Structure formats: C-alpha cells, structure tokens
C-alpha cells in the first residue's frame, strides 16, 4: 500500500464513476435521415397533405351520398350546393364532381404507384446488370436505352392502345415501360463505382455468382438514390397519365382520372368553371407535395448533395 498515493485513489474513484454511467447511444443512418427529413418543414407539410389526400380519396367516397357514376337528374350542370349534397357541384350529366374527383385521384395515385414500381424494378435490374458487367455488354445495353429515348412515348402508348385496346392495366405497363430508362442510367452510374468497392471484391473472391453479387451486395446499396428518384418520378408519371387522359388515351368512362376531369372541365370553363378549378387544385397540390417530399428525401438521404 506504500506505493498508492492520494492521486491514485482519486483516479480510481473517478474510473468507477465512469463505469456506472451509461454510454451515449449513437444514431443509425436511418435515424439521422428521418431527423433531417422531419426538420424540413416543406417536406413535413407535404407528408401530412399527401396523407390527407390519400385517405380522403380512398375512404371519402363511403361517406358521400353520391357515387362517381350516379346521376342526379334534378341537379344537372349545377354549381356547389351543400343542401343537395353536391359540395363541388355537378357536371354536364348530373354526376357529383366531388365523388368523381375522389375516384379520379384514386386512379391517378394507383397509376403513379404501379407505374413507378414497374419502372423501378426494370430500371434497377437493367442498370445494375449493365454497370456490373461493363465493356461490350454495357455498351450494347446503353445503346438500346438511347434508342428507346429517341422514340416518342406518345407514339409508343398509341401503338399499345391500338393493338391491345384501352385499359388501366395497359396504361400502367405503357408508362412504366418508358419511365425505367432514366432509372437505368442512374443505377448504372452508381453501380460502376460500387463494383470496385472492397465488399464486392470480397464477394467475387469468395466465389459468388454475378447475379448474387448484384442482388445481395450492389442493389441494397442503391436504396438511397433509387428512393429519391422514385419519389421524384411519381409526379412525372401523374403528369404523363393526366396528359394521356387529356388526349383521350388514358382512363375511359365511366371511370375517370384527374386528367380526364381537367380535360372535360377545360371545354366548359367559362360556363361551369368549378369543373376545371377543383380537379386542377387537387392535381397541383399533389404535384407540389410530391416534389417537396422528393427534395426533402434527397436532402435527408444524401446531405452531401445539398
């Protein structure tokens, strides 16, 4: 005990106190991304508005006195009338505009989500394979993408409609089969850098097959860019669907979409402006919210690009 000084005793007591303290908990990458996303006021407001629009579009029709295809013969071409239960008014055929706007919002959201899913699946697989194999395979695959870019998508959709007829499923496939091109290029660029990383080299040295390396090691590391671009793709697909419906190539009666409602309302905008104003407000609100949400996700998942 002669070698122990008072200073040693103090240090020993201090070390014991440190052992009793809880170590600070670190944050995962996902928690950091969520914290940055929720700190973005525009993205946060957009999430609430989009959630509200989706809930109203899918559950609101159950609380309305009129369905989207029901005709009120006593209220044809009427402005908003709360007593009759037509809160957005009626169209030229006496159908409730609010019910049709909800049904149109449903169709636009479904088309956007399904077409985005199709474009993400095709684009990720195609782009990851092109970037991983490289060389002549990459050159041939990218030249095919360039050729597809050169073809006007309107012509492609018209050909599909003429051959297979008009249906919402065809609309999903037609739009999704075009939107994957940009996704493939983005994924290819990310794959070219990822395939040189150590974990890919280790998997290759361990005897893993190329498809296994692509799906288990490369694709999971593409989650950030893919989620960001997919979020920004949804408003683009909604605009495309609305444009096709505006031209008469999209959703057909008695079903409707926001593009169809806007097309019909624009023809009688002077006499019945409510037929154009309400669907246009819904469409613009959705597009703005999705755009701000995409920007917020980009800043949250990849803050270096801010």
Residue 16 reports pLDDT greater than 60: no
Domain extent at residue 128: 30-301
* Residue 9 included in any domain: no
Residue 18 reports pLDDT greater than 50: no
What's the confidence (pLDDT) of residue 71? 86
| pLDDT one-digit tens code per residue, 28-56 | 666 777 788 788 888 889 999 999 999 99
| 71-80: average pLDDT | 87
| pLDDT one-digit tens code per residue, 198-238 | 888 888 888 888 888 888 888 888 877 888 788 778 888 87
pLDDT > 70: percent of the chain: 84
Q: How far is CA 226 from the centre of its chain?
A: 10
Read off the tokens for 188.
């290819």
What's the confidence (pLDDT) of residue 164? 66
pLDDT > 90: percent of the chain: 8
- pLDDT band, residue 59 (cuts 50/70/90): very high
* Residue 23 included in any domain: no
Residue 242 reports pLDDT greater than 80: no
pTM for this model (two decimals): 0.76
* Residue 10 included in any domain: no
Average pLDDT, the chain: 80
| Total count of domains within the chain | 1
Residue 152 reports pLDDT greater than 80: no
* Residue 136 included in any domain: yes
**In terms of Cα–Cα distance, which of 123, 151, 63, 108 is closest to 251?**
108
- In sequence order, the β-bridge partners of residue 71 are 95
| pLDDT one-digit tens code per residue, 161-188 | 677 666 666 766 777 777 788 888 888 9
| 283-300: average pLDDT | 84
Task: Find all residues with CB under 8 Å of 216, minimum gap 6, and list them.
Answer: 203, 208
3-state secondary structure labels for all residues of the chain: CCCCCHHHHHHHHHHHHHHHCCCCCCCCHHHHHHHHHHHCHHHHHHHHHHHHHHHHHHHHHHHCCCCCCCECCCCCCCCCECCCCECCCECCCCEEHHHHHHHHHHHHHHHHHHHHHHHHHHHHHHHHHHHHHCHHHHHHHHHHHHHHHHCCHHHHHHHHHHHHCCCHHHHHHHHHHHHHHHHHHHHHHHHHHHCCCHHHHHHHHCCCCHHHHHHHHHHHHHHHHHHHHHHHHHHHHHHHHHHHHHCCCCCCCCCCCHHHHHHHHHHCCCCCCHHHHHHHHHHHHHHHHHHHHHHHHHHHHCHHHC
Residue 154 reports pLDDT greater than 90: no
* Residue 95 included in any domain: yes
Residue 247 reports pLDDT greater than 70: yes
Residue 22 reports pLDDT greater than 70: no
CA dihedral 186, 191, 130, 235 (to 10 degrees): -20
| pLDDT one-digit tens code per residue, 87-136 | 888 888 889 999 999 998 988 888 888 888 888 888 899 999 988 888 88
CATH number for the domain harbouring residue 146: 1.10.3720.10
Rounded Cα distance between 189 and 183, Å, is: 10
* Residue 118 included in any domain: yes
Rounded Cα distance between 242 and 272, Å, is: 20
* Residue 25 included in any domain: no
**In terms of Cα–Cα distance, which of 204, 235, 196, 199 is closest to 220?**
199
**In terms of Cα–Cα distance, which of 234, 226, 231, 232 is closest to 123?**
226
| 74-80: average pLDDT | 87
* Residue 280 included in any domain: yes
């Amino acid at each position: 005990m002669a070698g122990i000084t008072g200073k040693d005793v103090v240090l020993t007591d201090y070390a014991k106190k440190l052992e009793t303290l809880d170590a600070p908990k670190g944050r995962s990458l996902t928690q950091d991304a969520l914290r940055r996303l929720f700190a973005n006021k525009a993205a946060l407001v957009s999430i609430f508005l989009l959630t509200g629009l989706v809930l109203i579009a899918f559950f609101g029709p159950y609380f309305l006195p009129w369905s989207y295809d029901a005709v009120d013969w006593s209220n044809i071409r009427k402005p908003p009338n709360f007593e009759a239960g037509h809160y957005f008014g009626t169209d030229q055929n006496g159908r409730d505009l609010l019910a049709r706007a909800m049904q149109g919002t449903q169709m636009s959201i479904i088309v956007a989500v399904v077409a985005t899913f199709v474009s993400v699946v095709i684009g990720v697989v195609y782009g990851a394979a092109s970037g991983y194999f490289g060389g002549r395979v990459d050159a041939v695959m990218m030249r095919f993408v360039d050729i597809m870019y050169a073809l006007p998508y309107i012509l492609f959709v018209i050909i599909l409609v003429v051959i297979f007829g008009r249906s919402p499923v065809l609309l999903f496939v037609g739009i999704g089969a075009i939107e994957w091109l940009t996704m493939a290029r983005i994924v290819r660029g990310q794959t070219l850098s990822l395939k040189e990383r150590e974990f890919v080299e280790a998997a290759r040295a361990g005897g893993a097959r190329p498809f296994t390396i692509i799906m288990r090691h490369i694709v999971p590391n593409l989650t950030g860019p893919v989620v960001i671009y997919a979020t920004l793709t949804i408003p683009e697909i909604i605009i495309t669907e609305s444009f096709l419906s505006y031209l008469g190539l999209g959703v057909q009666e008695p079903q409707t979409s926001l593009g169809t409602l806007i097309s019909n309302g624009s023809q009688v905008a002077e006499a019945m402006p409510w037929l154009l104003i309400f669907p246009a407000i819904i469409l613009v609100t959705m597009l703005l919210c999705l755009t701000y949400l995409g920007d917020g996700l980009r800043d949250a998942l990849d803050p270096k690009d801010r």
